[in-house]
Amino acid sequence: MGHIDNIKGIMDETDIIILPSYYRDGVPKCLIEGLSLGKPIITTDTPGCREVVKKYINGILIKPRSHEALAEAMT
């Protein structure tokens, strides 16, 4: 997609934000932006990512590096 000036416009078109990262990212900006727009999130149970999720209230935490956990969370 390249550089995007209007991330809100892109996020308005989505139903959910998914970030299956296994890096120690700190708190990813995309999760904060998604939550500020009221989007539920699916992300990994890793430092930084887990701090923004209230389990089953605003999102789901999954096991890092598990495509099975990611698929299950999306169903």
Residue 21 in contact with residue 28, Cβ under 8 Å? Answer: yes
The predicted model scores a pTM of: 0.87
Count: domains in the chain: 1
- As a whole number of angstroms, the longest Cα–Cα distance in the chain is 34
- The answer to whether residue 2 is domain-embedded is no
How do residues 2-54 score in pLDDT, each as one tens digit? 888 888 899 999 999 999 998 887 899 999 999 999 999 999 999 999 999 99
What pLDDT score does 17 carry?
Answer: 96
Domain residue limits at 33: 7-74
- The answer to whether residue 1 is domain-embedded is no
1, pLDDT greater than 80: no
Q: CA–CA distance from 44 to each of 14, 55, 68 (Å)?
A: 19, 12, 12
